[in-house]
Structure 1
Amino acid sequence: MSIPVIALVGPTASGKSSLAVALAERLTGAGRPTQIVNGDSMVVYRGMDIGTAKPSAAERARVPHHLVDVLDVTDGSSVALIRELARECFTTLRRQGVVPLLVGGSALYSRAILDELDIPPTDPAVRARHERALAELGPQALHERLAALDPTAAAAIEPGNGRRLVRALEVVELTGSFTATMPTGRYDPAVAPVLQIGLALERDELDRRIAERVDRMWRDGLVEEVRGLTDLRKGPTASRALGYRQVLEFLDGRIDEEEARRRTIVGTRRFARKQLMWYRRDERIHWVDALSPDLLDTVLSLVGETMSSC
C-alpha cells in the first residue's frame, strides 16, 4: 500500500497547527503512525517562536514535528531548500511506515514541495554579492543592471522589488537567463500520492483571528523576543518575517510600537489574502469549514478515503 502525503493548507490563523496535532494523534491511535512536517519558511528558525506561532513544546511532545528549529537566524533560506528538506522527510517517514502530514507555509512553498517544479540553482556567494550591491546602490541600479543582461526578466520585475532583483541577477549569472517558473498543477511522482485539505474561513472571521493572534504575540513578548535575537538583522531571510521586520523598525526608532503592531496586522491580512488567491486556483484541494464542530471527523473521512484507494 502506498503511503500518501497529507497536506493541510489554508491562510495563516485558520487553525492548521492545532488540527494537525489532533489529526496525527487520531491516525496514530488508529494504527496509522503520522508525524508532522513543517512547510513554513520561518518556523525553521531557532528562537523565532512567538512571531511565527511555532507549535508549542507541549504540541511537539504529543506528535513529532520535523523541520522546526533547524536553522539559525543568520542562515539564508529559500523555496528550494525547504522543498529539499521536506521531501527528504517524506522519504524517511514513508520508509518507516509513517504518514507525512505537511502543515503550514505559503501557497508557493506548499506547491513547490508537492508539485513538479523546476527551481533554478542558487549560490550563496553570488547572492551575497548582489545583496551587497542592493544595499549599496539601491534597487533601481540593480533593475538597470538586470535590464542590460536580460530585458525580458527586467520587464517582469518591479524596479523596487529588491529581493526579486537579487534572485534574478543570481540566476542570470549562474544560468545565463532568468526563467520564472511556477508549479505545474501536477503532483511530482516522487511525492504522490497526495491529499490536500484546505481550511476555509469567512474573511471577517479570518481578519478577526489575525488581529487577535498579533495582539497575543505582543502580550506574549514578541518585542522582547526580537530584542533577544541579537543577530536577527544579519539574517537575509529571517529579518524579513512578518512581525519581526515591523518590530525591528520600532526598535530602530523608525516607527512607534503601536504602528509596528498595526503594520503587522495589515501585512498579515494582506499575506492571507494572497495565500487564498493562490490556493483557490488549485482544484485539487478539498475545502472544509474550519469552524465546523465536525471538522476533525470530516478530515478523517477524507484521509480514510484516500488511504483506502492508495
Structure 2
Amino acid sequence: MSTANSLDAPYDLEAGNRPPLALIAGPTASGKSDCAVMLAQHLEKRGKRGVIVNADSSQVYADLSVLSARPSPEEMGGIEHRLFGRWDGAQGCSAADWANAARETIGRLHREGAVPILVGGTGLYIRTLLEGIAPVPPIDPAIRDAVRALPVTEAYAALKTEDPERAARLAPADGTRIARALEVVRSSGRTLTQWQAETTGGIGDQVSLFPAILLPDRQALYRRCDLRFERMIELGALDEVRVLLARELDPSLPVMRAIGVPELSGVLQEAWDLDEAIARGAQATRNYAKRQFTWLRHQPPRHWARIEFDSFNERLISDLLLRKFGLT
C-alpha cells in the first residue's frame, strides 16, 4: 500500500492508499489547538478540507467548556471540530470509548476526502487509537475494591511480586497505574503486558501518520498554565462548577475529578477562598503539564517529530509544523 509524502497528497481508498492523518500532540497550554486551526486553514488554501478531531480527555465532556479550554466558535476559525463536548459528564468516557468514536469519525472523514487533524495531549487516547485495545476481561468488583483500598506503597510492593516487569516501568507513587496493573493480574491471572500484546482495532497501520509533538520550554509553559487558570476564572469557571455540582454526580466520575473542579468546589463549599483555589488549580495544571511533557518526550516512537521551542512565536512554530507535514 502506498503512503503519502505530504499531508495534502491525493489518495484513493479503493486502490489501497493509506489516507493521511495529522497528529498534533503536546502538554496542556502548549498551543496545540491554535496550531491545528492554522494547519486546517493552510490546507483549505490548498484546496483540501481539514477537520480537527479532539484527543483531549477533558474536552470530550459537554460540562467542561471553560475548565477544559474547549475552543470557542471564534477560536475554531471557521474550521470543523469533532468530538468536542460529545459526552455528558454523567457518562465516563474511557480510552476505548473515545477510540471507537475517533476511529469511526476518522474513517468517515477519509471517505469524504477530508484530512483529519488529531489534536490533544491524552497519551492513552492516542495510543489506544493507533495501537488498539487490549482485550482485558472485566475486573472482579471484589478484587477491584480490595486493590483500590490498598495504600499505594502496599500496592506497589505487591505489584513487584506479582508483575515485576510492570512494576519496574512505573513510578512508586503512580497509584492509578499501579492499581490497574495489580487488579488485572489478580482478576485475570495474566499481566497487563500479556494482554496488551493482543491489542486489536488500532488504525496505525491503516493511515499515513504525520505526527508532531510540541515541547515548549518548561518554564514558559508553566507561566502559561498559571495565566490559563486565571483566565478560566474570568470566563466563568466558578459558575461552570456550580452547575456541575448541582447535578449531584458521582464524585468518582472523570468530569468531577478534572482539574479545576475539586479546587473550585472547595470555594463553593466554603472550604477555602478563591485565591487559594486559583493557587491550587494553577499548581494542578502545572503538575499535569509536567506529566504530559515527560510522557510525550519519551513514550511515542522516536521517529515522531519533536518540535522544541523557547518562546511561543506563532510564525516560527507554524513554519516548523508545515515543514514537518510536507506543506512547504
What interval of TM-score do these two structures reach, taking the shorter chain for normalisation?
0.7 to 0.9
The answer as to whether partners of 1:24 and 1:36 remain within 8 angstroms in 2 is yes
Alignment deviations for residues 210-246 of structure 1 (CA, whole Å, 9 cap, x no partner): 1100110111111111001123642611111111122
SS, match of residue 108 in structure 2: helix
- The one of 278, 284, 296 equivalent to 1:267 is 284
Which residue identity does 2:240 align to in structure 1? Answer: E
Secondary structure in 1 matching 2:322: helix
TM-score by length of 2: 0.76
What is the one-letter code of the residue matched to 2:326? G
The farther-off stretch of 90-99 and 167-176 is 167-176
| Aligned length in residues | 296
2-side partners of 1:167 and 1:155: how far apart?
11
1:152 paired to 2:163: yes
Partner of 1:228: 243
Q: How does 1:151-230 map to 2 (within 5 A)?
A: 151-152=162-163, 156=167, 163-164=176-177, 167-168=180-181, 171-172=184-185, 175-180=188-193, 188-229=203-244, 230=246
Task: Report the 3-state secondary structure (helix = DSSP H, G, I; strand = E; otherwise coil) of the residue aligned with 2:51.
Answer: strand
CA distance in 2, matches of 1:223, 1:112: 33
Question: More displaced, 228-237 or 11-20?
Answer: 228-237
The alignment status of 1:301 with 2:323, answered yes or no, reads yes
Residue 41 in structure 1 maps to residue 54 in structure 2? no
SS in 1 for 2:313: coil
Q: What is the aligned-residue identity percentage?
A: 32
C-alpha distance after superposition, 1:14-55 (max 9, x if no partner): 111112112112202211211001000111111211100001
Greater helix proportion: 1
2:58/2:68 contact within 8 Å kept: yes
Instruction: Sort the Cα spacing of 1:268 and 1:174 in 2 relative to 1 into closer, same or farther, 3 A.
Output: same
2:143–2:187 Cα contact (<8 Å) kept: no
* Preserved contact between residue 87 and residue 191 of structure 1 (Cα < 8 Å): no
Gaps of 5+ in 2: 1-10, 12-17
2:98 matched to 1:82? yes
Contact 2:27 2:289 in 1 (8 A): yes
Alpha carbons of 1:178 and 1:239: their partners in 2 closer, same or farther (altered >3 Å)? farther
Tell me by how many angstroms 1:118 deviates.
4.5
CA distance 1:5–1:155, change in 2 (3 Å): closer
Aligned partner of 2:303: which letter?
Answer: R
Partner of 2:256: 239
In structure 1, stretches of 5+ residues that fail to align are none
**Cα drift, residue 158 of structure 1:** 8.3
CA deviation string 1:161-193 (max 9, x = no partner): 664466457645763334157799xx8544431
